[in-house]
Structure formats: structure tokens, C-alpha cells
Amino acid sequence: MRIFYVVLLTVLSLQTYAQQRRDSVISIQEVVINENRFSTPISRQNRNVYVIDKATIAKLPARSLQEILQYANGVDIRQRGPFGSQADISIDGGSFEQTVVLVNGTKIIDNQTAHNMLNLPIPVEAIERIEVIRGPAARIYGINSLTGAVNIITKKPEQSGFLVSAFGGSNFEKDTAGTGEMFYGTGIQLGGVISKAKHQHSLFGSYDKSNGYRYNTQFENKKLFYQGNYQINNANEILTSAGYIDNGFGANGFYAAPGDKNSTEAMKTVIASIQSKHTLSDRFSLMSRVSYRYNDDDYRYFGVTNPNAGKSRHYTNSLAAELNSTYRLHTGELGFGVEGRREDINSSNIGDHRRENLGLYAQYRVYLLDNKLDVNAGTYVNYNSDYKWQIYPGLDASYAISKAFRITGNVGTSQRIPSFTDLFLNQRPGNIGNPDLSPEDALQGELGFKFLHRNLTVNASYFYRNISSFIDWTRMVTTEPWQSNNVGDLRTKGFNVRSDYRVAVSEKAKFNIHLAYTYLDSESEGAKALYSKYLISSLKHQVTNTVEFSYSGFSVLVATRYNDRISGKSYFINDFRISQRIQHFTVMVDAQNIFNSKYNEIGAIPLPARWFSLGVKYTNL
């Protein structure tokens, strides 16, 4: 660790040298964030937003979406299974049900339980970038965006070609409690692109298999993803996408430890969407979207020893339609939108249920004081067939002190409707739902600044959030089942700072440094239960740091993560990737958890120790 930080300080000292050579300064490329109605360069964003771009994704020691998000500051990825087989996601101290995940702006809402929300058929090679939006975002993304949103943007083809990527790895330990075989993991990703003047098509597939890292943690994962882009003319475009994932894994200790050491789970998910964008005039634009999600969750409590006993089966469907528009005025922009959603579930442990949701959006953005002051105000009005009408307004603003320095602030509200599991689950004596639950509501205020100058960006903010009617699974004594309840208010205050520094030492040699820190302080009022599943498990301190050096086609990236939870031990995880590109070929060597830290993120589930992988990729895209 000392050597690592000496390297970090040495790299930072190179700034003086780089500033003496203007031709060696790297200007950070501007990214435009598309929020369904308004498109805004990230430098002008009033919200706490940041992007993990494709260049960073390619160099991280990660082979799944879940592993990539581990390095996103403020994002809490809590894995039960290795290498992306099962994980929960939350933002800035919220629960895993309070973050909405989107694919190209299409919401992925799992009405059974958000445990399945990251079961997505998107191979890493298909991802263009990942946008992380922190804080309540109902007026932008609607329901369930209580603490933030993660938007996965897939690649839009620019040229025809194909790619093949394969890897294999191991911790070189044996499964002494099971087969006696050495633990291993292998995978392959394939992709092909046809790019024409008026239409482009991409097809990506992947297959990953492992016998795990301890008894009954094996997995087998198959993904298929298609995307088609069609340019009818300069003013009209259509985007289609569809994907399928078949994900099966051993679930030792995932939900009911220690009795479920032989449990298994298999999930099959289908997503599909069609979007259209229309520029009707210089002022008026329109976007429509229709999407569908199907999920089959098959859980076997005695899966290894008796697959037909202790079986839970859940089938869910979600159909949604959305229409958004933007109209430019002389003084600003107006945005309007409407969405409808129907959700249903057929389950052995939850029953048969259906509900409908209607949402209305309205936003107004204006630039004042010679475009230095940016104000964006709006509201989301929601009707749910179970919970009737709610309204969630929000306001954000920023003021440019200079070209490089901007002060930002926002106040936002949002809500989360209980999942069908929260409401109706019947798994006595383990877990029981509560049909009398109320939705969660959030109010958050944030104040911060952004600094962007050539090769350095710094973002910092302080926020205060109150979630009323917080839903948690609680019990008074260990002999009782867990039950979902509105336990009271959860108040969280937090501070976060994020910096990126990029410097060219020479024409070919470059350093990229990312360093971020988040502090959270949460307190609950009204929770009387002795035992809680989620109130005491959020992060208190989080540090994410990556240092990358590249020279021509060679690169080495060292990543450090530090997590300190309200309960449990704190831990450092250190990973690295070394890669060498030779024309169309790239060879990668990964080492994850280099120093063999012992840690867990959910319950008492131990996560993988040191793991080594070797990969190779060919692409002419």
C-alpha cells in the first residue's frame, strides 16, 4: 500500500511538468447527458452526475456490469455471488429498492424485488458509458428514483466489424467441501456490427461459467443483446433493442444463512424496447418509447440435495410506454412527458397481483444573467392503482463564477412504491410481507461546486436527505420471521468529492488518476425493532481510486476501494489490470483482491479472495 501511494504522489507532482508543455495537456472530452426531455453537457449539469466512459471500462479489471459499478463512488454494490452472478445496487446510503436502473433511458423496474434488477443481458463490450445520477430524480425518471439513477448507454455502431474476447481465471484453491476440483472461471464474448449509411445493427453475446470460489457458489450465465439504429431522415430516427439472459447459480447463504447452504437460483430475463426521436421543427422535438420486461425467478431452497423441495417460482411482466417532448422558447426550454406502466406477478409465494401506474412530467429550464445562471424546475405527478395520486416537484440551479468554476444546488423529491415481495411475500417461518405498507417519500437538498479546467476536474457536494415511511425488514427477536414495515424516517447527511486528473508526460505516455471520497451519516427515528436488515448496513466511508499509466498500446491500471459500513469490518480491496494492444489484438492480465482481504458485503457471505485471470480480445471495430 505504501508503494502505491508513493506512486500516486509522484504522479501528482507531474502536473508542474505537464503545464510547462501545453501540447501535452489532455482536454477532457465533453459528454452530453440525455435526460429524456433535456440534453445537457455534463459541465453544465446542475445535478451530481458523472460518467464511466468506454475507455475506462475497457481498462478496469472487470468483466461484468456489477464489477464495473464497484468502482463508482457513491454507488454501493453488494454482491452475494462472484463476478456479477447476483448483486444489489444502492446510491448514497439508500436501500437496493430505491435506485432506478435504465438502459438507454428505458427504466428497468423489477416489481418482484430489486434483487433481480441487475440481471441484465448486456455484455461489457456492448456498453458505451454508464451515467450515475445521485439524489432524488422523480421529475426526470419517475417512480423508484428515490436516491438516484444509473443509466447504461450502449454503443452506437460507427463501422462494420466484429470482436471476440475470452478469459480464464482461478484462485488456485480447491473445493474441499464439495467436488475437490480447483476453482476456476471462464468466459467468452462475441460481437458483430453492420454499419450502413441509414441503418446500423449490433449483436453481442456472452457465455460465462465458473464452479465458484467456495462450496455451492458455481454459476452459468448466457447473454444475448441486439440493437438496431435506423435513420429515416435527418429529423427522424428509430432505436430498437432486445436482450435475453439465462443466469443460474449456487446460492449458498444468499438469503437465509446458514440453513440455505444447498440453495440454488435460476433467473431468465427478457427486455425489449423501441424508441423514436423526431425533430419536428427548430424548436419542437418529440421522443416516444415502448418497453417490455419479463422475468422468471426459480429458487430452490434444497437445490443441490433435493431440487424439487423448497421451491419458489416467480413470473413477472412489465409493459411501459412513454412520450416526451421539448419546446424551445426565446427565454428557455419547456419539457413535457407522460408514461404508463402495467405490472403483474404470478408467484408460488407471493400470489397473483397486478397494478397500473400513470406519470406526468413537466419541466422548464431557463438561462439568465448572460447564461451564467441555469435554473431547471419541474414536477412529476404520479397515479398508482394501489396508492392513488402523488406529486413530486424539484428544482436545481447553477451559477458559473468563471468558465472553470460553477456552483450548483438542488432540492428534489421522489418516491418508491413497495415491491410485490414487500407487500405479499409468504415464506414462513423466514419472511412475510405486509400488505398495509405505504410508499417511501424522499426530500433532499444539495449544495456543491464543479471545477473543470483542461486536464483536471473536481466535483464536491454536501447533501441532506430525509426518507419518510422507510421500508425495512425487521423483527423483535430471532425466533420471529422477518417482516416488512414502515419503520419511520431515515435521515442521511453526506459529503462527497470526486477528482479526475489526466496528464500527458510525452506524446505516447499518459497518466489518468481518479480519486473520490464519500462520507455518510444516517440516523433512524421510529424504528423500534431490535433487528434490521437494511438500516445498519449502509456505507459510512467510501474511497475509490484508480491510477492508470499508458504508453502507446500498453497500459496498467491499479484500483483501490475502501469501504467502511455502519456495521461490520472496514476493508481495502486492491485490483489491477495490465494490458497490451498489438494492432487488433489485446492481451489482459487481471489480479483482483491482490492482498487477499477477507470481507463480506451482505450478511456473513464471504466474497472471493485473491483471483487471477488472463484474457485476450480481437476486434476491428
Q: How far apart are the first and last CA of the chain?
A: 38
Asked if the model's pLDDT at residue 193 lies above 90, the reply is yes
Cell of 80: 452475494
Helix (H) or strand (E) holding 138: helix 138-141
The whole-number pLDDT of residue 554 equals 95
Q: Please write the tens of the pLDDT for every residue from 422-477.
A: 999 998 777 899 999 999 999 999 999 999 988 999 999 999 999 999 998 888 88
Q: What is the mean pLDDT of residues 295-301?
A: 95
* 597-602-605 Cα angle (round to 5): 60
Whole-number Å distance between alpha carbons of 331 and 95? 40
CA atoms within 13 A on the CB side of 418: 24
The whole-number pLDDT of residue 34 equals 72
Burial class (CB in 10 A: 0-12, 13-18, 19+), 608: buried
The whole-number pLDDT of residue 430 equals 78
- Percentages helix, strand, coil for the chain (3-state, rounded to 5) are 10, 60, 35
Q: Are strands 489-504 and 456-468 parallel, antiparallel or unpaired?
A: antiparallel
Helix (H) or strand (E) holding 210: strand 199-210
Q: What is the mean pLDDT of residues 81-106?
A: 89
- For residue 260, which phi and psi values (nearest 5 degrees)? -105, 35
Q: Cis omega (within 30 of 0) on the bond before 258?
A: yes
Asked if the model's pLDDT at residue 7 lies above 90, the reply is no
Looking at the chain, how many residues does it have?
621
| Cβ 141 vs Cβ 132: under 8 Å | no
- For residue 266, which phi and psi values (nearest 5 degrees)? -135, 130
Q: Please write the tens of the pLDDT for every residue from 251-288.
A: 998 887 788 899 999 999 999 999 999 999 999 999 99
The whole-number pLDDT of residue 177 equals 80
| Cβ 292 vs Cβ 305: under 8 Å | no
Range of the domain at 300: 2-619
Q: Are strands 99-103 and 148-154 parallel, antiparallel or unpaired?
A: parallel
CATH number of the structural domain spanning residue 60 = 2.40.170.20
What total of structural domains would you count in the chain?
A: 1
pLDDT band at 13 (very low <50, low <70, confident <90, very high): very low
With a pLDDT cut of 90, the percent of the chain lying above it is 71
Residue type, 134: R
Whole-number Å distance between alpha carbons of 596 and 206? 28
CA atoms within 13 A on the CB side of 416: 34
Residue type, 241: S
pLDDT band at 610 (very low <50, low <70, confident <90, very high): very high
pLDDT band at 12 (very low <50, low <70, confident <90, very high): very low
CB neighbours of 585 closer than 8 A, spacing ≥ 6? 616, 617, 618
| Cβ 8 vs Cβ 496: under 8 Å | no
Whole-number Å distance between alpha carbons of 118 and 112? 13
Closest CA to 519 of 479, 456, 463: 463
Q: What is the mean pLDDT of residues 571-598?
A: 95
Helix (H) or strand (E) holding 65: helix 65-69
Asked if the model's pLDDT at residue 1 lies above 90, the reply is no
Judged by DSSP in three states, 67 sits in helix
The whole-number pLDDT of residue 83 equals 79
Whole-number Å distance between alpha carbons of 297 and 557? 37
DSSP 30: P
The whole-number pLDDT of residue 17 equals 43
Q: What pTM does this model have?
A: 0.92
DSSP letter string, 346-403: EETTTEEEEEEEEEEEEEEEEEETTTTEEEEEEEEEEEETTTEEEEEEEEEEEEESSS
